[in-house]
Structures are given as structure tokens and as C-alpha cells.
């Protein structure tokens, strides 16, 4: 569990740094977090590469802004995007996976 436990979320205007309990930190853009949302509305739009690209292009046109972040229990955070999707809960496990795939290790 410590590998997936998010212990700190440092946010700037275009990206955030996520620090996990195992000592690893990642810098990741809000675009990548939002385009990997697993809510009921967004997940079906990620079924194949073409639909994923269309979703990412749509999000880019909306101008990704810093979301409001609200802790959800001890397992995730809800991100409220000023220009759209706000229903998804991002589990720490999911965020770690997104960080490993699309983030940059932060020393």
C-alpha cells in the first residue's frame, strides 16, 4: 500500500507534483490526469487510441486549469475541473499508474 499512498500533492497552475509514501515523486500535467479520468463519462472515451486522442484534443481546446482537489477518505481525491468533468474520484492507485506512465520523476 505504501507504494500507492499519496502523501503530498503540490499544485501549480499547469502541473502538480505527487509524492508517494515509498519516497517516489512525479511531476505530471493536469492534461494527463484529466485525459485519464476513470469516471463513467470519460472512461468509455478511452476504449481505443482514436477515442483517447479525440478526448485529449477536446480537453486541450477547453484549456486545462488547476482543479480544486478534495480528499476522499484515505484512498483518493476528487478533482473538480473548472471547465468540465468533476464527478470522478481518482484513487491513489490510479494516480500512481498515471504518474508512472505519463509523469516525470521528480528528484
- pLDDT tens-digit profile of 30-39? 989 988 888 8
C-alpha cell recorded at residue 27: 511531476
Give the integer Cα–Cα distance in Å for 82 and 19. Answer: 24
The stretch 19-27 carries a mean pLDDT of 96
Class of domain 6-105: alpha beta
The residue ranges of every structural domain in the chain are 6-105
Q: Give the Cα-Cα-Cα angle 72, 36, 83 (nearest 5 degrees).
A: 75
| Cβ-proximal residues to 102 (8 Å cutoff; 6+ apart), any chain | 28, 29, 32, 36
Distance CA 107, CA 50 (A): 34
**pTM check: above 0.85:** yes
Whether the predicted pLDDT of 23 surpasses 80 = yes
- Cα dihedral across residues 102, 45, 66, 93: positive or negative: negative
Nearest to 88 by CA among 97, 99, 79: 79
Amino acid at each position: 500500500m505504501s507504494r500507492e499512498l499519496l502523501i503530498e500533492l503540490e499544485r501549480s497552475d499547469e502541473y502538480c507534483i505527487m509524492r508517494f509514501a515509498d519516497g517516489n515523486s512525479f511531476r505530471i500535467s493536469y492534461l494527463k490526469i484529466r485525459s485519464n479520468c476513470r469516471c463513467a463519462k470519460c472512461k468509455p472515451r478511452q476504449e481505443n487510441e482514436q477515442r483517447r486522442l479525440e478526448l485529449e484534443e477536446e480537453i486541450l481546446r477547453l484549456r486545462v486549469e488547476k482543479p480544486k482537489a478534495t480528499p476522499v477518505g484515505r484512498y483518493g481525491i476528487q478533482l473538480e475541473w473548472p471547465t468540465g468533468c468533476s464527478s470522478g474520484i481518482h484513487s491513489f492507485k490510479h494516480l500512481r499508474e498515471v504518474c508512472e506512465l505519463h509523469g516525470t520523476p521528480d528528484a
